[in-house]
Amino acid sequence: MKFKRPECLTKESMHYCPGCGHGIIHRLIAEVIDEDYKESKIIGVAPVGCAVFIYDYFNFDFVAAAHGRATAAATGVKRSIPDALVFSYQGDGDIASIGTSEVIHAATRGENFTAIFVNNGVYAMTGGQMAPTTIPGQVTVSSPYGRDPKVQGYHIKLCEMLVPLDGVAFVARTSIHNLKNIELTKKAIKRAFEVQMNNEGFSIIEVLSNCPTNWGLSPWESMKRIENEVLKYYSLGIFKDKGRGI
């Protein structure tokens, strides 16, 4: 099989730091769309965060949302164009902090779009401050002694919070720290899009990603950190798939 750029990716050079996981996740989305949805109307909703310029990298329409409001914007887009494949693309600070209310209520209502949630455990765009997803003991520029649950509280597990809601059809947490899990992430994206196009309700995939720059590690070391540290706090798997009885 010849390696090539997915057709729905532009030739624009991505602005992400070397080794950042966003590029991998972008490609997986593009591959799924090329394989299954080339003839569909695709609309993405861009976040505020490292992926704020995501609309430069795909050959389909995007809506830019205010910080944390991507799920609210996606709700409006999907209700206006119900036949379109609609997804929001959000970081942990965007969806699990300022956007917590928006995602919980969109999920509760069973809004029929897909949220792709990239969790790298820091506010990466603004300098690497502690985020809601920062794990206990993790050093950031705003938690220089490591996150102490007694002081800053525990990390938020958004997937586990959303599973009990009746409007939620599909919930998965995946990772991109090795080839096996990259492939599982692609399968989860494919399934979430399928759930949406079957009109089953709200779907979300949380992808554990790396941040070499703000973690102070090489790209390789940052991937190993996901495996050796992050997975102790965030378990992987499909937590809910209504259509398959999970």
Following CA atoms 102, 84, 79, 23 in sequence, which dihedral angle do they give, to the nearest 10 degrees? Answer: 10
Concatenated DSSP letters of 127-173: T-EE-TTPPTT--BTTBTT---HHHH-PPP-HHHHHTT-TTEEEEEE
CA–CA separation, 207 vs 192, rounded Å?
A: 13
192: helix, coil or strand? helix
pLDDT in single tens digits along all 246 residues of the chain: 577 899 999 999 999 999 999 999 999 999 999 999 999 999 999 999 999 999 999 999 999 999 999 999 999 999 999 999 999 999 999 999 999 999 999 999 999 999 999 999 999 999 999 999 999 999 999 999 999 999 999 999 999 999 999 999 999 999 999 999 999 999 999 999 999 999 999 999 999 999 999 999 999 999 999 999 999 999 999 999 999 999
As given in the structure block, the two tokens for residue 111 are 């809004």
CA–CA separation, 130 vs 153, rounded Å?
A: 11
As given in the structure block, the two tokens for residue 150 are 């007694």
CA–CA separation, 23 vs 69, rounded Å?
A: 23
Nearest by Cα to 215 from 148, 134, 95: 134
CA–CA separation, 96 vs 151, rounded Å?
A: 19
Evaluate whether 58 touches 8 at the Cβ level (below 8 Å): yes
Based on C-alpha coordinates, what's the Rg of the chain? 17
Instruction: Give me the residues paired with residue 122 across strands.
Output: 130
| Domains in the chain: ranges and CATH | 21-244 (3.40.50.970)
pLDDT in tens, 40-60: 999 999 999 999 999 999 999
What phi and psi values does residue 53 have, to the nearest 5 degrees? -100, 20
Taking the CB of residue 150, how many other CB atoms lie within 10 A of it? 7
CA–CA separation, 79 vs 85, rounded Å?
A: 11
CA–centroid distance for 11 within its chain: 22
